[in-house]
Amino acid sequence: MMHARQRVFATWSANSVFFFAILVTLASARLFAEDQIAVTAKGRTITLQEHGAAHSYEFDDEDLVLSEIDSAKLLFHDRVKNETYLLMYVSGPSTGGGNGRCGAGEEEYLVWLAVGSTWQKDDQKIELIGSCFFSVQSTSSESYTIKQKKLTAEYDRYTESEGTRSTLTYDSAMPEKAWQIEHTPVPHQQQ
């Protein structure tokens, strides 16, 4: 038989656990909402919407060799001290039309940006991971894989005389280092 004191303690304990669970859920939802960044693309510009503010980054023909950015997907965003590091997958048609070489082709990139506290671009790295123009193709059906907060992209690049397999790895635990790329020769592809 439970005494009055034990019943009060049991009720208080159950209510405390319930209240704590609600607080954790609300705190998680708020942190998640604060970290939401929406990404849109138009022409050669990627716009990030964060806390109601728009931050646009324009890329020229030398940065991204494609007709226009068709799709931009934010893969990782991490803050270290006063810098925010963003890793995005960006793709678009090779040319504006459907005729000729690469008319229906696609260009695929990984874009790493380091932005300061006011979202000014401090640094960038761009890597071509799939291309009709430059004979770059993924070694698998997916352009990249993400496992345990690490991204891997493996792709082959062929020239008229040689082939190179590149393995790009990005570790979101060290976003300030961007990515590492290892290159190995591969047998030449017959075209």
- Predicted confidence (pLDDT) per residue in 32-84, tens digit: 344 689 999 999 999 999 989 999 999 999 999 999 999 999 999 999 999 99
**Residue 24 pLDDT more than 60?**
no
Q: Evaluate if residue 20 carries a pLDDT over 60.
A: no
Q: Is residue 103 part of a domain?
A: yes
- Residue 3 pLDDT > 90: no
12 and 66 both lie in a single domain: no
Q: Are 73 and 99 in a shared domain?
A: yes
The maximal CA–CA distance of the chain, rounded, in angstroms, is 87
Contact 72, 39 (CB under 8 A): yes
157/131 Cα distance (integer angstroms): 9
pTM of this prediction exceeds 0.85? no
Asked whether residue 174 falls in the same domain as residue 112, the answer is yes
CA dist., res. 183 & res. 151, Å (int): 17
Q: Are residues 68 and 106 in the same domain?
A: yes
Residues 133 and 88 in one domain: yes
Residues 14 and 42 in one domain: no
In a shared domain, residues 76 and 24: no
Residue 64 inside a domain? The answer is: yes
DSSP bridge partners of 84: 79, 115
Domain that holds residue 1: 1-34
Residues 88 and 139 in one domain: yes
Number of domain units in the chain: 2
Same domain, 96 and 140: yes
- Is the residue at 134 inside a domain? yes
Which helix (H) or strand (E) segment is 19 a member of?
helix 4-34
The mean pLDDT value for 179-191 works out to 82
Instruction: Let me know whether 20 and 41 are in one domain.
Output: no
Q: If pLDDT is split at 50, 70 and 90, which confidence band does 16 have?
A: low
Residue 124 belongs to some domain of the structure? yes
Per the CB < 8 A criterion, the answer to whether 155 and 169 are in contact is no
Per-residue pLDDT band at 102 (split at 50, 70, 90):
confident
Per-chain mean pLDDT for the chain:
84
Beta strands per DSSP E along the chain:
37-42, 45-50, 53-58, 71-80, 83-93, 106-115, 121-131, 136-138, 145-147, 150-158, 163-171, 179-186
